[in-house]
């Protein structure tokens, strides 16, 4: 693999090239490359540069605030955090099973979010690379140019995203940061009028999803060898799975497979995640590096998200997406598909599944039920796990007798792809940049590899940041008594 490029032996003698900020991703990250005199890459790192500290500052908040509070981790997939927190809080109020209407409304909202988030990523963020070229001029690589050059494609993307956002709005009152899930259920039933409003367009949306899938398939296969090799790494995969092995995004057990497709574990109750996963801290990123403990730090890292879910499941329970899954897996010649750019293809299979599932749900009479909340006996702890658009999302809370949060742990999807994204950019650096004169177009290759994972660096910054640069000690009158200065190299002076 490429892990020898994580840390150079003599960084002080190397040239530094930086991509800052990484663009067309959600959130704040940068890439640093260290090159020797002959332009050989000696080190490549994706740094997550922001830190917010949710785990600490939600301590002391009442548990019922959590779904609306923690969704502010992320404006792209707020529904993920809203629902993962809600599932954890269901447990805190002693509820293991929601009413059918409440669960179906949550699922509908979740499918809506997958649709909007995947459409946003594919069309607004990724198609500038995929349709205009990795090397096209930086000034052209954006959605506006795609809308100009490929107006039909761009507009369908805009409308797919719009539909997903409308599903969310109808259920939660707002497209972004609405309010829907409450402890043990949902806060509002769906009316016939709202259901019919969403029904109007779903067939058309389904058609757009099929077009999007056909588009990425065509792009991928048009230059198959290059697309398979680009950012290619081999990894374990992890995600939720339904009891019967079906593709599942709202509730299920944990399954992990190794690079050859052999099962590492299956149908694990996610409430036991602390016995399975650990998160390593490295000094150069605020994003931690999770791994499967039983396999150890070196070999236990894994990928989550669309590629993991499609590789891991036994089948997809809607016909068009299942057909697409089988077609896709034929690329892997019997084993999992590993190419990083295959994420895009897997993502569009999921989008199609979401549209199919939304149509099914809108025809389900139970969706309009008005019995929405269940009550139970208070428990001190809750763990909620779902598949977010970018992968498995863990929310874990402990709550005291005054209903206040005492402890919180969040493992977000993007964090679990941290090692994989770093490995992928090292692959690209080694295979495409090494020994070359670095150009803007080549640097975009690095970003293309990162974008394949659709990282949400907003989510990944939930942990907080670095020590202040200057510490001043002043007396009550404001006169400075002492001053400590920490330099960039970490040394401290007075």
The phi, psi pair for 18, rounded to 5°, reads: -125, 140
Lookup: tokens for 104: 């179906």
Binding residues for Fe cation: 77, 459
Q: Least distance in Å: CB of 463 to another protein?
A: 4
Tell me which residues in 281-300 interact with another protein (CB under 8 A). Answer: 281-286, 288, 297
Pairs from 266-273 (Cβ < 8 Å, separation ≥ 24): 266/241, 267/241, 267/243, 270/240, 270/383, 270/385, 270/394, 271/383, 273/383, 273/385, 273/394, 273/396, 273/411
From residue 399, how far is each of 66, 93, 98, 294 by CA, in Å? 11, 10, 21, 29
User: Treating both helix axes as pointing N-terminal to C-terminal, what angle do 100-119 and 192-222 enclose, rounded to 10 degrees?
Assistant: 40
Q: Which of 61/229 has CB closer to another protein?
A: 61
Binding pattern for the stretch 16-55 against another protein, x by CB under 8 A and - elsewhere = ---xxx-xxxxxx-x-x------------x-x-xxxxx-x
List binding-site positions for Mg(2+): 55, 410, 462
Residue showing tokens 């977010």? 388
Stretch of 144-152, 222-230, 352-360, 363-371 lying at the interface with another protein (CB under 8 A)? 144-152
Give the span between the Cα atoms of 116 and 101, in whole angstroms: 23
Which residue of 143, 307, 324, 346 would you call a contact of another protein, by CB under 8 A? Answer: 143
**String of contacts with another protein for each residue 406-445, x by CB under 8 A:** -x-x----------------------------------x-
192 counts as binding another protein under rule CB under 8 A? no
Minimum CB distance to another protein, residue 159 (Å): 7
Q: Which is nearer to another protein, 159 or 229 (CB)?
A: 159
- For the bound state, the minimum distance from the C-beta of residue 116 to another protein, rounded and expressed in Å, comes to 9
Q: Which of 42, 87, 106, 161 binds another protein (CB under 8 A)?
A: 161
3-state secondary structure of 214: helix
First to last CA, the chain: 44
Please tell me whether residue 118 binds another protein under the rule CB under 8 A.
no
Q: Which position among 44, 69, 153, 425 is part of the footprint of another protein (CB under 8 A)?
A: 69
Q: Vertex 275, ends 271 and 278: CA angle to 5°?
A: 110
Which residue of 40, 162, 210, 229 would you call a contact of another protein, by CB under 8 A? 162
Does position 197 bind another protein by CB under 8 A? no
Q: Which of 74, 102, 209, 346 binds another protein (CB under 8 A)?
A: 74
Helices (H), strands (E): how many in the chain?
17, 17
Listed in sequence order, the residues at least 6 apart from 363 whose beta carbon sits closer than 8 Å to its beta carbon are none
Judged by CB under 8 A, the chain residues 218 through 277 that form the site for another protein are: 274, 277
Could you list the residues known to form a binding site, using ranges. 55, 74, 77, 410, 456, 459, 462
């Amino acid at each position: 693999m490429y892990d020898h490029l994580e840390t150079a032996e003599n960084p002080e003698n190397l040239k530094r090239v930086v991509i800052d900020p990484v663009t067309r991703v959600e959130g704040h990250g940068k890439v640093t490359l260290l090159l020797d005199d002959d332009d050989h890459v000696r080190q490549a790192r994706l740094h997550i540069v922001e830190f917010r500290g949710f785990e600490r500052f939600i301590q002391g908040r009442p548990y019922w605030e959590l779904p609306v509070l923690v969704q502010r981790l992320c404006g792209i997939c707020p529904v993920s955090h809203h629902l993962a927190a809600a599932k954890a809080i269901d447990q805190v109020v002693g509820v293991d099973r929601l009413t059918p209407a409440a669960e179906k409304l949550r699922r509908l909202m979740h499918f809506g979010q997958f649709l909007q988030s995947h459409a946003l990523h594919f069309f607004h963020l990724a198609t500038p690379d995929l349709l205009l070229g990795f090397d096209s001029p930086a000034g052209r690589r954006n959605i506006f140019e795609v809308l100009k050059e490929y107006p039909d494609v761009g507009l369908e993307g805009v409308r797919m995203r719009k539909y997903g956002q409308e599903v969310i709005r109808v259920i939660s009152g707002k497209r972004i940061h609405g309010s829907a899930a409450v402890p043990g259920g949902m806060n509002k039933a769906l009316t016939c009028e709202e259901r019919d409003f969403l029904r109007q367009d779903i067939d058309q949306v389904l058609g757009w999803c099929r077009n999007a899938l056909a588009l990425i398939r065509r792009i991928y296969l048009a230059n198959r060898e290059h697309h398979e090799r680009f950012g290619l790494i081999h990894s374990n995969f992890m995600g939720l799975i339904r009891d019967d092995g079906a593709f599942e995004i709202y509730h299920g057990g944990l399954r992990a497979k190794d690079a050859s497709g052999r099962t590492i574990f299956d149908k694990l109750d996610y409430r036991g995640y602390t016995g399975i996963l650990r998160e390593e801290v490295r000094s150069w990123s605020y994003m931690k590096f999770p791994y499967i403990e039983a396999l150890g730090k070196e070999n236990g890292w894994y990928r989550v998200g669309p590629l993991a879910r499609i590789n891991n499941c036994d089948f997809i329970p809607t016909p068009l997406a299942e057909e697409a899954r089988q077609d896709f897996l034929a690329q892997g010649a019997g084993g999992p598909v590993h190419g990083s750019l295959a994420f895009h293809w897997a993502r569009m299979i999921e989008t199609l599944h979401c549209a199919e599932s939304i149509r099914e749900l809108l025809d389900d009479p139970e969706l309009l039920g008005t019995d929405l909340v269940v009550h139970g006996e208070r428990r001190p702890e809750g763990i909620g796990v779902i598949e977010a658009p970018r992968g498995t999302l863990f929310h874990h809370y402990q709550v005291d007798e005054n209903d206040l949060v005492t402890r919180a742990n969040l493992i977000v999807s993007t964090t679990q792809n941290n090692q994989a994204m770093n490995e992928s950019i090292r692959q690209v650096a080694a295979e495409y940049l090494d020994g070359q004169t670095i150009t803007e177009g080549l640097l975009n290759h690095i970003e293309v590899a990162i974008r394949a994972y659709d990282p949400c660096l907003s989510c990944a910054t939930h942990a907080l940041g670095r020590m202040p640069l200057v510490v001043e000690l002043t007396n009550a009158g404001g006169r400075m008594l002492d001053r400590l200065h920490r330099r960039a190299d970490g040394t401290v002076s007075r």
